[in-house]
Amino acid sequence: MISLSHSKTFKGGVHPYERKVLTENMPFEFMPNPKQIIIPLTQHLGKAAKPIVKKGTEVKAGELIAEQDGFISSPVHSPVSGKVSKITVGANVIGFPKDAIVIESNETNEIVFMPLLDPEKVTPDEIRERVKIAGIVGQGGAAFPTYIKLSPPPDKKIDVIILNGCECEPYLTRDYRYMIERTNDLIAGLRLIMKAVGVEKGAIGIEDNKPDAIIKLTEAVKDYPNISIEVLETKYPQGAEKMLIKAVTGKEVPPGKLPFDVGAVIQNIGTAIAINDAVAKGEPQFTAALTVSGLGINQPKNLIVPIGTPLSDILDFCGGVKENAVKVVVGGPMMGVAQYDFSAPVMKATSGILVLTDEEVNEHEESTCLRCGKCIDACPLNLIPTKLARLSSLEKFEDAEQLGITVCMECGTCTYTCPANIPLVQWIRFGKQRVMALQKERQSA
């Protein structure tokens, strides 16, 4: 029996209504290729990839269409077989203008794979190189090129690789389905990461609302005594890097520092599977696994779709949007981005599409701050959201800087919990950007 009573966690946080029940028992479905796909050259954090195809080029699925450009960058592969119809400038990508390659898919569905590598014999350098050329980026949301995370600076000693299986965002069940359906592949992926970084210890952090996944993973790692399953309290934002490290290792990542600095490397569940697929199956990252959910969509599903699939195709595949929908969000409800245009394409790191109704959004009128302190109790980083928001609104950026505004990770816990419905994190985001601009000015001065 697995005891859930001593789940580890961090201080603060909130318990939003999960609604994972909408999709958690639905196996992944493969969505058929759409007629047209739009593949942004910036799938990742960093410099855009450089296109190597032109209008009219015939491509197969898995073929390189844009190459890595610089250190923090990542290549892009075609997810379908077809013909490049154009390369557009400033297409709408999840709310931001980005350049993109547009491909009209054909029916042949030919796929080219990379040569297979033997997971037991592969060397750390070969793993890193494969991750790099397969265009793998972090699946947790920030989409940082993964090969860089597998190459920690030599002066940092890494003790542990932690796979993030928290999936603390409400609604989303993608990582949960991965843990259930591809248990062994994800363990294999974790072992490849451990080999690449040269680390003995691995851990998988899972929230205690996923007992089935905990049981399956515990069973799957029983031959690997160096991999532990860490059961964590179900609480938002348990899956934030700093919170996860705190819960698993007890260490706190100092402001402005990285997980490297406390000897940890965090990878998402989906990233581990992508690494396994790249090494053992020779498959570059050209699909996205995501949850389509919310009370405003007719048929909630867990899907595997080609990257570049427009939202409209996915929403149609899920039976269309209900009349009472008020918001369409890409990502989770706590940190996702609201959409205005359904032609926007899915990217490598897209984890969900949510169609929300009034009932779920639960907006109410803003009133004055009553100084109840709920935002302070909830802030996982021990900031004073009410004060930071007020200083930002008064444009007192130096004072906000003093109180640590740049430490904020914008998890939205404060806004979620505020009884006066003050847009706290929104004000803090504004203030944080201004403070960071000030800091840049100071540096260059």
Partner 1 sequence: METKSVNPSYKLELTSSPHVHSRWSTKQAMWFVVIALIPALVSAVVFFGPYQLLIVLTSVVFCVGTEFLIKKIRKRKTTVGDGSAVITGLLLGLILPPNFSLSSTAIGAVFSIAIGKEVFGGLGYNIFNPALVGRAFLQAAFPVAITTWTNPNFSVDTVTSATPLAAYKFDKIFTSIQPMFLGNIGGSLGETSALAILIGGIFLIAVGVVNYRVPLAMIVGILIFAGVFWMIDPVKYPNPAFQLLAGGFLFGTFFMATDWVTSPLTSKGMWIFGLGIAFLVVVIRIFGGLPEGVMYAILIMNSVVPIINRYTYPRIFGEAK
Tell me how far, at minimum, the Cβ of 14 lies from partner 1, in Å: 7
Taking CB under 8 A as the criterion, which residues in 7-26 touch partner 1?
A: 14, 16-17
Taking CB under 8 A as the criterion, which residues in 250-269 touch partner 1?
A: 252-255, 257
* Interface segment toward partner 1; rule CB under 8 A; list 41-49, 98-106, 220-228, 359-367: 359-367
Residue from 21, 372, 394, 438 binding partner 1 (CB under 8 A): 372
Question: Is 361 near partner 1 (CB under 8 A)?
Answer: yes
Per DSSP, what are the bridge partners of residue 338? 329
- 356 contacts 325 by C-beta, under 8 angstroms: yes
Write the CB contacts of 21 (distance below 8 Å, at least 6 apart in sequence): none
Residue from 9, 36, 386, 392 binding partner 1 (CB under 8 A): 386
* Interface segment toward partner 1; rule CB under 8 A; list 135-143, 206-214, 281-289, 340-348: 340-348
Distances from the Cα of 322 to the Cα of 290, 293, 296, 315, angstroms: 20, 12, 5, 10
* Interface segment toward partner 1; rule CB under 8 A; list 149-157, 264-272, 282-290, 405-413: 405-413
Question: Is 426 near partner 1 (CB under 8 A)?
Answer: yes
What single-letter amino acid sits at 61?
Answer: A
Tell me how far, at minimum, the Cβ of 199 lies from partner 1, in Å: 22
Residue from 52, 215, 258, 335 binding partner 1 (CB under 8 A): 335
Residue from 191, 415, 432, 435 binding partner 1 (CB under 8 A): 415
Question: Is 373 near partner 1 (CB under 8 A)?
Answer: yes
Tell me how far, at minimum, the Cβ of 144 lies from partner 1, in Å: 19
Question: Is 97 near partner 1 (CB under 8 A)?
Answer: no
Question: Is 357 near partner 1 (CB under 8 A)?
Answer: no
Question: Is 45 near partner 1 (CB under 8 A)?
Answer: no
Question: Is 436 near partner 1 (CB under 8 A)?
Answer: no
> What are the φ and ψ backbone dihedral angles of 211, each rounded to 5 degrees?
-60, -35
Tell me how far, at minimum, the Cβ of 279 lies from partner 1, in Å: 34
Tell me how far, at minimum, the Cβ of 320 lies from partner 1, in Å: 4
Q: Where are the beta strands (DSSP E) in 315-394?
A: 325-330, 337-338, 352-357
**Structure-block tokens of residue 189:** 């992926």
Tell me how far, at minimum, the Cβ of 55 lies from partner 1, in Å: 25
Taking CB under 8 A as the criterion, which residues in 225-244 touch partner 1?
A: 242
Query: For the range 108-113, what are the long-range contacts, defined as Cβ-Cβ under 8 Å and sequence gap of 24 or more?
Result: 108/81, 109/33, 109/61, 109/80, 109/81, 110/60, 110/61, 110/81, 111/60, 111/61, 111/62, 111/81, 112/60, 112/61, 112/62, 112/63, 113/62, 113/281, 113/282, 113/283
**Structure-block tokens of residue 71:** 């250190």
Tell me how far, at minimum, the Cβ of 8 lies from partner 1, in Å: 16
Q: Which is nearer to partner 1, 25 or 367 (CB)?
A: 367
Q: Which is nearer to partner 1, 122 or 384 (CB)?
A: 384
Residue from 62, 140, 145, 336 binding partner 1 (CB under 8 A): 336
Write the CB contacts of 60 (distance below 8 Å, at least 6 apart in sequence): 78, 81, 110, 111, 112
Q: Which is nearer to partner 1, 267 or 386 (CB)?
A: 386
Write the CB contacts of 100 (distance below 8 Å, at least 6 apart in sequence): 38, 39, 40, 41, 87, 88, 91, 93, 308, 345
> What are the φ and ψ backbone dihedral angles of 281, each rounded to 5 degrees?
-115, -5
Residue from 179, 329, 389, 400 binding partner 1 (CB under 8 A): 329
H helices present in 221-340, as ranges: 241-249, 269-280, 311-317
Tell me how far, at minimum, the Cβ of 326 lies from partner 1, in Å: 5
Taking CB under 8 A as the criterion, which residues in 162-201 touch partner 1?
A: 170
Question: Is 419 near partner 1 (CB under 8 A)?
Answer: yes
Question: Is 394 near partner 1 (CB under 8 A)?
Answer: no
Q: Which is nearer to partner 1, 150 or 378 (CB)?
A: 378
CA distance linking residue 99 with residue 90, whole number of Å: 5
- 355 contacts 315 by C-beta, under 8 angstroms: yes
Strands 82-93 vs 227-232: parallel, antiparallel or unpaired: unpaired
Tell me how far, at minimum, the Cβ of 251 lies from partner 1, in Å: 9
Write the CB contacts of 212 (distance below 8 Å, at least 6 apart in sequence): 180
Site size toward partner 1, by CB under 8 A: 74
Residue from 293, 300, 416, 428 binding partner 1 (CB under 8 A): 416
419: preceding bond cis by omega (within 30 degrees): no
If we measure between CA atoms, which residue out of 255, 184, 276 comes closest to residue 222? 184
